[in-house]
Chains A and B, each alone.
Chain A
Amino acid sequence: MSTAIAPPECPAAQADAPPREPHSRRALFRMAAAAAAVAGIIPGRARAQGIRKPPATKPVHGYPVLPNETPVAPVEWATDTSRLLRRITYGITDADVAAARKYGFRGFMERQLDHTHIDDSAVDAFVAAKYPLLSQTTTDLFSATESTVTAQLQQATLYRAAFSNRQLYERMVEFWSDHFNISISKVSYLKIVDDRDVIRRNALTTFRQLLYASAKSGAMMAYLDQNQSRSGAPNQNYAREIMELHTLGVDGGYTQADVAELSRVFTGWTIAGRGDFSFNPAIHDWGAKTVLGVRIPAGSVSLGAAGLKEGELMLDTLLAHPSTASFISTKMLRWFLTYDPTPQQVSAVAAIYTSTGGNIKSMIRAVLDSAWLVSAPMKLKRPFHLVASSMRTTTPTLTNVTALNNQLFTTGQSLFVWDTPDGYPDKVEYWAGNILPRWNFGAFYAALAAGETIVDVAPFMVGNTADLTVSVIDKRLFGGEIAPALRTSLAAYLKAGTYNAARVRETLALAIGSNSFQWY
């Protein structure tokens, strides 16, 4: 038996210390965006009229990039009310159309904004019965497995999006879930608490209430490593993201020194017990700090819980900052109106933010301006929106949404597992790669004839003719505003085979997979 042999050395390099990474985060962010924008683009020909082409994007290392084309809404989407219905619901139903006719543009919007007065007891009862974890405290949730936590929250969210009468509210829940993104993969059951007590409780209140709730969320503390930050060893993750992603925006006028100083302010903001927020004076940095020009004098640990006030002062500073008004307004305009809002639109909504103290309902009223809606281009449904739309417009009989939730994985948007704090992208180019799964989702969904979810084909076969079937598809999936070309092609597909339930289901699948149904 030989003894240990002298370890070999790398012939090409000497031992060296790990080099440091230079910090140029913003430049990288822009670079990443440019790289993402390259995805999947080949030269197209001039097609539908009315497509505006923005100037060509600069090539990345010689590879030419074609711009996104502006998807102009079809002429069939004739009225402001029709546009409004598309933007504030997960899919127009007969009932929505009837209600909008009855109450008008403003009346329908106001009823949706007044969400607590909309009866949603059936949906609440279903969620309470099927997903009991959603009402539990951290103490109860502690023993739940991550897979159960994930399944219940994902399924409940899909069910509510599809069937809740509070559609605008659900759309805002999705918006804030992205804005204050937290991945369940990192925080497990704490996500349930954040979803309930931060996002859902405050989705239509004020941005101030939301930001305060989020900043005192155990899940957010864990997700952005704030619970690992302490005096002398501050972790900058949360301090950076609250400015970059939650309030000011990346170009909102803060510096790396502000990040470092703010991270000192937030030392002591942490979690205790089973993941509840707590402030720990013993690990708070009591030295003097200056953030965004605001000076915080030195204190001492004897001040105890008063140290929390330092962080709250900074929350107020961020809330009052004009960059926050613009940033939140821009994101809300992108969500409801257009990917590319004008500076005039942003300042109009930002003015409402400032004058109302960040009242979310007031901002929504400003964003959903009738004239703006009528001239806005279409937006692409993300996979979650597509699946919810299909469910909402076809009213399936179901006992659970397990299989439908699994379709979100297949189509690329399993909920609450986006790992970076920026939330699921709301950009066409990000989602463009997964078209076949959308088509196959249509095929999967329309074929559901037994089991936990049943799509009843009978309503689509009233009259037993191809033309009448397509009329029902028009009425139910397209709000009665189907494009003539799609009406013709769907009818042609139906007529090319024997008229029966299987062929009708295939036609429904093609309608769900069609280009028109991907937009709202």
Chain B
Amino acid sequence: MTTDLHDGNSGCAEYNELSRRQFIGRAAGGSMAAAAAAAAYYPAWLPRIMLAETHASARDVILSVFMRGGADGLSLCVPFGDPAYYTARSTIAIPRPDAAAGTAAKGIALDNFFAFPQAMAGLVPAFAAKDLLVVHATGQFNNSRSHFDAQRYMEVGKPNDVSLVTGWLGRHLASMPPVRSNAPLRALGIASGLQKTLVGAPRTLPIANPATFALTGTASTSAARLAFLQADYGTATEPIHAAAIDAASTVTLLQSVGISTYKPSNGAVYPTSSFGTALKSVAALIKADIGIEAAQVDIGGWDTHSAQDPLAGSMYKTMQDFSNSLAAFYLDVIALAPTTGVTAVAVSEFGRNARENGSNGTDHGRGTVMFAMGKNIAGGRVMVNNWPGLATANLESGQDLKVTIDYRDILAEIVQQRMGNPALDVVFPGWAYTARGATR
């Protein structure tokens, strides 16, 4: 089964269908060895009825990334074609791709207007393969510059509504039947407490580190203790009973996946950062084909009020971690299949001021970039809705890149087209979305 678990094609519809049929074959008429392999593949506690199930395999698995702190879109995707960028950023600008030979840290042109900084070089192959879409001058029309408010509203998917407590991805999952009805874990947040994006999702757990999701304490007694607790909660009332069984099952499940020994395919090398480690775990879970439908992963370090240095310093390192981790995920999970069943998105609560401040950094602003990546993403371009421009007269409140595309337009299209959910009124209540052509 090792081969199957680590097959770079997993995640795609064909692969899911194939692995299901293979498994049914084994379970129905296979040898003892195959049955034993199957038992390792599907934990013993899973009811066998699941084997007869038809997967809704056309639905993409989604990796949702939140860049917490307000990521500077003007450094992540540099508008070198706008001269006002260089006026506003006297010490922290990324040099033009066509700057004089010998210039350090020149941008990498994506088209004739935008460039990646060197720190984002890892994502150039995905962009070149037209699998990575960059959306610019995007964000929320809600103009809060508070991390607290802006993150909350972005995650719940509706601005200025303090009564809405569930997240957009949580409501998506709650409004769709599971891809695998007996999957104990439909989604996970790589976190100690569930991120708001996922709140409301059924069979969804916050798991800080899937490789160590286990009963703590003495290892030699953990099986006996887990058995004790499973038996003890056998008489619990719902929903505690189900949640306890899910938790115990997930412990067993994640042990069977063997995340700590997972070998990425296609030459992918994940950074050893917490973000890279998280994406590697998510890749292992997706490829184990256990019914995971969504994962939420956060990356911090974007609140660059001082010494931002996107050329070689603080923000360079953050961007490099971001891009190299996602590049590994791309190679490992997305790149090989002709049509893959995995889509990744990355958002941030707001951008930063066009003009740098007195500390070689930037303060909280408005418009920024977001990313979407997958075989069904109409990538290889920087999408804008008429570049608003960085000349002072064109800035919001005289200081910020305007928001011209609501981030929900992109997410809603993915939810509808790639995650098969027609109920956009549930996922993004009150938002009449404009199709932007983010998906193929």
Docked pose: A440 CA to B243 CA in angstroms: 15
Residues of B within 8 A of A61 (CB): 175-176, 423, 426
Q: Which parts of A34-73 form the interface with B (CB within 8 Å)?
A: 35-36, 38-42, 44, 47-48, 51, 60-63, 66-71
Closest Cβ of chain A to B152, distance in Å, is: 6
Q: Name the CB-closest residue of A to B227.
A: A493
Stretch at the interface among B31-39, B199-207, B271-279: B199-207
Docked pose: A429 CA to B166 CA in angstroms: 13
B174 close to A35 (CB less than 8 A): yes
Residue with the greatest number of chain B CB neighbours at <10 A, chosen from A40, A186, A485, A510: A40
20 contacts between A and B (CB under 8 A): A10-B384, A32-B163, A38-B200, A41-B202, A42-B246, A44-B238, A62-B177, A71-B237, A185-B148, A244-B163, A410-B192, A420-B152, A428-B239, A435-B240, A436-B213, A436-B215, A436-B251, A447-B217, A485-B235, A502-B218
B225 close to A39 (CB less than 8 A): no
Partner of A443 from the list B201, B204, B217 (CB cut-off 8 Å) is B217
B165 within 8 A of A: yes
Closest Cβ of chain B to A238, distance in Å, is: 11
Partner of A515 from the list B244, B432, B436 (CB cut-off 8 Å) is B244
Residues of B within 8 A of A420 (CB): 152, 162-163, 165
B113 close to A5 (CB less than 8 A): yes
Stretch at the interface among B11-19, B153-161, B261-269, B356-364: B153-161
Partner of B162 from the list A7, A47, A421, A432 (CB cut-off 8 Å) is A421
Closest Cβ of chain A to B357, distance in Å, is: 22
Partner of B112 from the list A5, A19, A412 (CB cut-off 8 Å) is A5
Residues of B within 8 A of A31 (CB): 426, 429
Residues of B within 8 A of A15 (CB): 385-386, 404
A362 within 8 A of B: no
Docked pose: A432 CA to B382 CA in angstroms: 42
A60 close to B387 (CB less than 8 A): no
Q: Which parts of A430-454 form the interface with B (CB within 8 Å)?
A: 432-436, 439-440, 443-444, 447
Interface residues on chain B, size class: 35 or more
Residues of A within 8 A of B406 (CB): 18
Q: Name the CB-closest residue of B to A19.
A: B432
Closest Cβ of chain A to B403, distance in Å, is: 8
A11 close to B247 (CB less than 8 A): no
Closest Cβ of chain B to A470, distance in Å, is: 13
Closest Cβ of chain B to A473, distance in Å, is: 14
A39 close to B200 (CB less than 8 A): yes
B217 close to A506 (CB less than 8 A): yes
Residues of B within 8 A of A506 (CB): 217-218, 221, 225
Docked pose: A14 CA to B404 CA in angstroms: 10
B242 close to A41 (CB less than 8 A): yes
A21 close to B215 (CB less than 8 A): no
A2-B98, A35-B200 as given contacts; A7 in contact with B81, CB under 8 Å: yes
B163 close to A422 (CB less than 8 A): yes
A432 close to B243 (CB less than 8 A): yes
B229 within 8 A of A: yes
Residues of B within 8 A of A38 (CB): 174, 200, 202
Residues of A within 8 A of B405 (CB): 10, 13
Closest Cβ of chain B to A173, distance in Å, is: 23
User: Per-residue 0/1 for A470-508: is the Cβ within 8 Å of any B Cβ (1 yes, 0 no)?
Assistant: 000000000000000110010001001100001000100
A12 close to B435 (CB less than 8 A): yes
Residues of A within 8 A of B434 (CB): 13, 16
Docked pose: A493 CA to B176 CA in angstroms: 41
Q: Which parts of A400-435 form the interface with B (CB within 8 Å)?
A: 409-410, 412, 414, 419-422, 428-429, 432-435
Stretch at the interface among A22-30, A193-201, A329-337, A353-361: A22-30
Docked pose: A2 CA to B182 CA in angstroms: 59
Residues of A within 8 A of B244 (CB): 435, 515
A183 within 8 A of B: yes
Docked pose: A29 CA to B158 CA in angstroms: 12
Docked pose: A434 CA to B387 CA in angstroms: 45
Shortest 9 CB-CB contacts between residues of A and residues of B: A12-B437, A7-B387, A18-B141, A69-B237, A432-B243, A443-B217, A15-B386, A35-B200, A436-B247
Q: Which parts of B359-402 form the interface with A (CB within 8 Å)?
A: 382-387, 389
Docked pose: A440 CA to B432 CA in angstroms: 44
A4 within 8 A of B: yes
Docked pose: A71 CA to B204 CA in angstroms: 23
A40 close to B202 (CB less than 8 A): yes
Docked pose: A29 CA to B113 CA in angstroms: 44
Q: Name the CB-closest residue of B to A236.
A: B160
A8 within 8 A of B: yes
Residues of A within 8 A of B383 (CB): 10, 12
A518 within 8 A of B: yes
B430 within 8 A of A: yes
Closest Cβ of chain B to A275, distance in Å, is: 16
Docked pose: A496 CA to B221 CA in angstroms: 11
Residues of A within 8 A of B202 (CB): 38-41, 63
